[in-house]
Chain A
Amino acid sequence: EIVMTQSPATLSVSPGERATLSCTASQSISSDLAWYQQKPGQTPRLLIYGASTRATGIPARFSGSGSGTEFTLTIISLQSEDFAVYYCQHYKNWPPMYTFGQGTKLEIK
């Protein structure tokens, strides 16, 4: 079973600054990683897929990187609407399994 571990659990950053969120897989998953944003009371929104490709309509200040076991989501010039919880997710083809990280809460410093 692949385990996805996110760090830190909570990240405090000032508006306008850069945030760096990490996701580590317990074994190599190549680039099969997605990132989602979830605001309070809202559904998760797809941000990044294939570790580094922005989904449709996602601002360029969001970027993803990494492969294998170590992945990073970077948000530059943080806007007020970016403060939310971020999840990484991996899909294993066989046997089929979606695995989410436990989330990183990005809060205003």
Chain B
Amino acid sequence: QVQLQESGTGLVKPSQTLSLTCTVSGGSLISGGHYWGWIRQHPGKGLEWVGYIYYSGGTYYNPSLKSRVTISLDTSKNQFSLNLSSVTAADTAVYYCARSNVWGNYRVFDYWGQGTLVTVSS
């Protein structure tokens, strides 16, 4: 059973960088076909895809966040990380890490972390 767990700073000051790590257990980050992604949910709102990385290290980001987002991989620790720079209050959200897999011919998120609330405030 694959499990994902987010960790990182829950309070970030405006203009600083949000940093989160997702630790994966029960499965390898370098398994082919899987993408490892970040999704966020603003308080009381819907889901927004932030970006993903796949086993070779290739990344894709939501165009609305692309200039501020970096996702990286640490295969030795079976972890992947999110950095979001120049944060504002609008970046306050619950951040989920999740695995994207192909079911049939369709790419979906099948395993999710519990989510971690990040608040941007001085």
Contacts and interface: CB of A to CB of B under 8 A. Distances in A.
B93 to A, nearest CB: 13
Contacts of B45: 102
Interface in A73-109: 87, 89, 91, 95-103
Contact of B104 (A46, A53, A96, A98): A53
A3 interface: no
Given A43-B96, A43-B112, A98-B37, A50 B106 contact: yes
Contacts of B63: 95, 97
A46 B108 contact: yes
Given A87-B47, A97-B62, A34 B108 contact: yes
Interface residues of B, number: 25
B107 A91 contact: yes
Nearest to A43: B112
B5 to A, nearest CB: 12
Listed residue (B48, B63, B107) with the most chain A CB atoms within 10 angstroms of its CB: B107
A49 interface: yes
B32 interface: no
A101 B46 contact: yes
B109 interface: yes
B104 A50 contact: yes
B108 A49 contact: yes
Interface of A: 31-32, 34, 36, 43-44, 46, 49-50, 53, 55, 87, 89, 91, 95-103
